[in-house]
C-alpha cells in the first residue's frame, strides 16, 4: 500500500469522527424534537460521509502524510552536442 493511500485512510478516519461530531452538534442545535429518527440519522450520516471525504482529501494533500526520504537530484546540463548526438531534434 502506498504512502498516499495510507495517508488518505488516516485522514478519512479522523474526518469521520469530526463529521459525526459536527452532525451531532448540528442536530442538537436544531433540536431533537423537531425531526424524526430517520431525518436525524440521515443528517449525521451525511455529515460523517462529508467529513470522511474531506479528511481523505486533506490526508492525501499532506496534513497526515509522512515525509518520504529526500533523494538528491543530480542535474546535468544538456548541450547542443549531447542533444544532437542522442538524435533529439
pLDDT for res 10: 86
Question: Model confidence at 45, in pLDDT bands (50, 70, 90)?
Answer: very high
DSSP helix/strand/coil, 1:
coil
Question: Model confidence at 89, in pLDDT bands (50, 70, 90)?
Answer: low
Distances (CA, A) of 53 to 4, 7, 15, 45, 47: 15, 13, 7, 12, 10
pTM metric for this prediction: 0.64
Please report, for the chain, the start and end positions of each structural domain, with discontinuous segments joined by +: 16-61
Task: Tell me 30's DSSP state.
Answer: H
CA dihedral (25, 28, 30, 33) in degrees, to 10, reads 160
Amino acid at each position: 500500500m502506498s504512502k498516499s493511500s495510507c495517508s488518505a485512510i488516516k485522514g478519512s478516519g479522523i474526518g469521520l469522527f469530526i463529521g459525526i461530531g459536527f452532525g451531532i452538534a448540528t442536530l442538537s442545535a436544531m433540536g431533537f424534537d423537531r425531526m424524526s429518527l430517520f431525518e436525524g440519522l440521515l443528517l449525521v450520516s451525511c455529515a460523517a460521509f462529508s467529513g470522511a471525504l474531506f479528511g481523505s482529501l486533506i490526508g492525501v494533500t499532506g496534513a497526515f502524510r509522512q515525509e518520504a526520504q529526500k533523494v538528491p537530484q543530480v542535474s546535468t546540463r544538456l548541450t547542443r552536442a549531447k542533444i544532437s548526438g542522442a538524435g533529439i531534434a
